[in-house]
């Protein structure tokens, strides 16, 4: 019982209990905060990112057509593994009236442009969200994350993780999802 009579031991024990309690409740607090702070689709479409010329753009610019937004990075092995099939898919999807935007989470545009050029990915224009604001607004938990957005700017589906965009099943799913 001598342990509990020392003031320092009580303070340290209380601090440990509060810390462990905080760890237990923190995910619930974050989820609750996120639920109340979820941006509307109109505010998400106003978040700025950069195009390959370094100009500021928003998703608002792309409203009116089916849109696929892919968050990726050159340092993400799963992302780069599927870029070739995504590049080919982008050409087919855009031929049907849709738009594909690949938004890199890299630090600088030079790295992204060099990667796309080096690999001949001519169907994927370079875009950069180096502050991660758009990715955060969509609550994308990791890379790659692909968001399917209808012509009104509303998210209708998402894929988290890598997929082979060359599979007929995924292509059929995507075209049916958008009705094209």
Q: Are residues 75 and 29 in the same domain?
A: no
Backbone angles phi, psi at 159, to 5 degrees: -125, 125
Q: Are residues 118 and 169 in the same domain?
A: yes
Q: Are residues 108 and 84 in the same domain?
A: yes
Q: Pinpoint the alpha helices (H) of 96-140.
A: 109-118, 133-137
Q: Are residues 70 and 141 in the same domain?
A: yes
Q: What whole-number distance in Å separates Cα of residue 109 and Cα of residue 115?
A: 10
Q: Are residues 137 and 74 in the same domain?
A: yes
Range of the domain at 6: 2-36
> Whole-prediction pTM value?
0.76
Q: Are residues 45 and 21 in the same domain?
A: no
Q: Are residues 91 and 105 in the same domain?
A: yes
pLDDT score recorded for residue 33: 45
Report the CATH number at residue 94.
3.40.30.10
pLDDT score recorded for residue 73: 97
Q: Are residues 27 and 80 in the same domain?
A: no
- 47 DSSP assignment: -
Q: Are residues 13 and 80 in the same domain?
A: no
State both tokens at 102.
């690949």
Q: Are residues 134 and 116 in the same domain?
A: yes
pLDDT score recorded for residue 31: 46
Measured N-to-C along each axis, helices 168-178 and 83-95 cross at an angle, to the nearest 10 degrees, of 40
Q: Are residues 46 and 28 in the same domain?
A: no
Q: Are residues 28 and 63 in the same domain?
A: no
Q: What whole-number distance in Å separates Cα of residue 116 and Cα of residue 107?
A: 15
How do the pLDDT tens digits run along the chain, 180 residues long? 566 566 777 678 777 787 776 666 655 554 444 444 444 555 899 999 999 999 999 999 999 999 999 999 999 999 999 999 999 999 999 999 999 999 999 999 999 999 999 999 999 999 999 899 999 999 998 999 999 999 999 999 999 999 999 999 999 999 999 998
Query: Could you tell me which of 97, 105, 102, 165 has the C-alpha nearest to residue 130?
Result: 105
Q: How many domains does the chain have?
A: 2
């Amino acid at each position: 019982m001598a342990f509990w009579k020392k003031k320092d031991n009580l303070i340290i024990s209380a601090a440990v209990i509060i810390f462990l309690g905080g760890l237990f409740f923190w995910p619930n607090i974050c989820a609750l905060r996120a639920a109340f702070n979820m941006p509307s689709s109109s505010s998400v479409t106003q978040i700025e990112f950069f195009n390959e010329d370094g100009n500021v753009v928003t998703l608002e610019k792309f409203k009116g057509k089916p849109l696929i937004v892919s968050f990726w990075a050159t340092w993400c092995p799963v992302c780069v593994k599927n870029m070739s099939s995504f590049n080919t898919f982008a050409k087919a999807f855009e031929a049907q009236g849709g738009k594909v935007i690949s938004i890199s989470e890299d630090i600088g545009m030079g790295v992204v442009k060099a990667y796309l050029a080096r690999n001949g990915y001519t169907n994927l224009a370079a875009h950069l969200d180096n502050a991660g604001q758009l990715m955060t607004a969509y609550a994308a938990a990791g890379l790659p994350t692909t968001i399917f957005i209808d012509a009104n700017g509303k998210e209708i589906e998402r894929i988290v993780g890598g997929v082979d965009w060359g599979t007929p099943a995924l292509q059929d799913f995507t075209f049916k999802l958008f009705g094209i």
